[in-house]
Amino acid sequence: MAFPTHELIAPTFEPAPDAPLLFRTACIPDNSAYPAHTHAWGEFVYSFSGVMEVRVGGKTYLAPPQYGLWLPPDQEHQGLSRYESTHCSLYIAGDLMRGFPGQACALQVSPLVNALLTHLRENPFQPPYNEEETRLLRVLTDQLAVAAPLDSYLPSSQDPLLLPILTQFENHPGDTRPLSELAEITHTTERTLMRRAQRELGMSLTEWKQRLRVVKAMPKLEAGERVESVALEMGYSSASAFIGMFRKLMGVTPDEYRRR
């Protein structure tokens, strides 16, 4: 299936001096994309299910539900979703952006932030906000301003030695060949790939592949596929090994994630 097949309409609204915060949620079908656009707001994007994918310049940012994405104002970006999902955006303007990173990045979502986002999703309210609603959005903003940033949960790279390896994993997440064998794809050595991965991705290729498998497994778990089947597809010889990896990275088991 070509991606994307559903073209969405980018939000068009401008911040006002007396309304520096705006919260919205959206449900979008699979294989969807917003057009590339900019706005004067800073934007925090969070997906309640699945994985958010946002392209900024030549870089793609991915974040599962443990993370959200921060997008500074006036920076062109494009949001995409390969699977049906529900996401939200908190738009922030003016002095309230003080303390937020100056570049696009992922932000770690604390239990408090997760609870606030869930509450706002389940109890929606529309602008203009009253004093109580504004206070709730200010608490969320304050918590996000001190959230731990990271480049991306699943960073990308255009490095000519790494790119073919990352593409191979992307297309075949269950590939279990050793790194020394994969190095032959780009006619290099295992040691060189290890150095490039730390420099370009900030992590080992083993960790990157584990994160990719989590990202690939999420929509399958949400669709109701058996954990054993997903484990085998992700290259694990047993469900217990897959469950251990998933819990280590996500803090919950696959079944707990699915129930959430």
Q: What rounded mean pLDDT belongs to the chain?
A: 89
Quote the percentage of the chain above a pLDDT of 90. Answer: 62
Quick check: 101 pLDDT over 50? yes
Residues of the chain with CATH 2.60.120.280: 6-150
Quick check: 45 pLDDT over 60? yes
Calpha distance 254→214 (Å, rounded): 9
Count of residues making up the chain: 260
Residue 137: per-residue pLDDT: 97
Residue 241: per-residue pLDDT: 96
Task: Give 203-249 pLDDT, tens digit per residue.
Answer: 999 999 999 999 899 888 988 999 999 999 999 999 999 999 999 98
CATH homologous superfamily for the domain 6-150:
Regulatory protein AraC (2.60.120.280)
Task: Find the mean pLDDT for residues 195-208.
Answer: 93
Burial of 223 (0-12, 13-18, 19+ CB in 10 A): exposed
Task: Give 132-183 pLDDT, tens digit per residue.
Answer: 999 999 999 999 999 989 877 888 888 999 999 999 999 999 999 999 999 9
Quick check: 50 pLDDT over 90? no
CATH node for 163-259: 1.10.10.60
Quick check: 5 pLDDT over 70? no
Quick check: 4 pLDDT over 70? no
DSSP string, the chain: --S--EEPPPP----BTTB-EEEEEEEE-SSEEPPPB--SSEEEEEESSS-EEEEETTEEEEE-TTEEEEE-TT--EEEEESS-EEEEEEEE-GGGGTTS-SS-EEEE--HHHHHHHHHHHHS---SSP-HHHHHHHHHHHHHHHTSPEES-SS-----TTTHHHHHHHHH-TT----HHHHGGGGT--HHHHHHHHHHHTSS-HHHHHHHHHHHHHHHHHHTT--HHHHHHHTT-SSHHHHHHHHHHHHSS-HHHHHH-
Q: Please give the model's pTM, rounded to 2 decimal places.
A: 0.75
Residue 81: per-residue pLDDT: 80
- pLDDT level of residue 1 (50, 70, 90 thresholds): very low
Residues of the chain with CATH 1.10.10.60: 163-259
Task: Give 118-131 pLDDT, tens digit per residue.
Answer: 999 999 999 999 99
Task: Find the mean pLDDT for residues 107-115.
Answer: 93
> Comparing 235 with 257, which gets the higher pLDDT?
235
Residue 57: per-residue pLDDT: 79
